[in-house]
């Protein structure tokens, strides 16, 4: 039994490393919009602004944006998702994209959230989704135990409960 427990723990650690701690980032390339999840402040907003200023997209879309008028030099769209979680953000951003005729979105979130974000946006958006991670402002840029737990619970919810958009 101990060997099985150790093997399960090692598998969980490996999966956490691959999908949460060091997930595969997409190259942003050119896009119609940069969407920043929970984009009111912090590393996600800084990365989204950097991408727009670099010319990746002409529009910055902020979920929970606190001051849409403070981002001069480019178009900014702010929205509040319903429900107030990643799936709600994917639904709302996809509706905005559909109304605007967008075919490519770069979605910025914290690194630990990239894999689940990509999955949820691909379920909701008919176009191309590129997920880009912003390193957390935590020591070493690593996710906290709380964020690791939330991600695993979120994956479980997405796989077992809400499998669609």
What pTM was estimated for this model as a whole?
Answer: 0.90
Q: Which neighbouring-strand residues pair with 129? A: 105
Give the residue numbers spanning the domain of 59: 2-160
Residue 54, in any domain of the structure: yes
Whether 165 is covered by a domain: the verdict is no
**CATH number of domain containing 85:** 3.40.50.720
The count of structural domains within the chain is 1
Spatial separation of the C-alpha atoms in residues 46 and 50, rounded to whole Å: 6
**Mean pLDDT computed over 52-60:** 96
Number of H helices, E strands in the chain: 5, 5
The model's pLDDT over 77-134, given as tens digits with 9 standing for 90+, comes to: 999 999 999 999 999 999 999 999 999 999 999 999 999 999 999 999 999 999 999 9
Residue closest to 25 by CA, chosen among 86, 113, 94, 89: 113
List Cα–Cα distances, 54 to 48, 115, 163, in angstroms.
Answer: 10, 24, 35
Does residue 20 lie in a domain region? yes
């Amino acid at each position: 039994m101990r060997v099985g427990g150790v093997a399960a723990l090692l598998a969980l650690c490996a999966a956490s490393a691959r999908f949460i701690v060091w997930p595969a980032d997409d190259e942003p390339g050119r896009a119609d919009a940069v969407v920043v999840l929970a984009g009111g402040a912090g590393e996600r907003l800084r990365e989204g602004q950097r991408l727009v200023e670099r010319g990746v997209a002409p529009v910055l879309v902020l979920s929970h944006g606190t001051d849409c008028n403070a981002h001069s030099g480019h178009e900014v769209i702010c929205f509040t998702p319903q429900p107030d979680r990643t799936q709600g953000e994917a639904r709302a951003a996809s509706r905005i994209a559909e109304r605007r005729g967008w075919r490519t979105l770069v979605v910025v979130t914290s690194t630990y959230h990239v894999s689940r974000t990509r999955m949820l946006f691909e379920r909701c958006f008919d176009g191309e989704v590129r997920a880009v991670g912003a390193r957390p402002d935590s020591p070493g840029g690593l996710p906290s135990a709380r964020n690791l737990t939330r991600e695993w619970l979120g994956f479980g919810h997405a796989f077992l409960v809400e499998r669609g958009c």
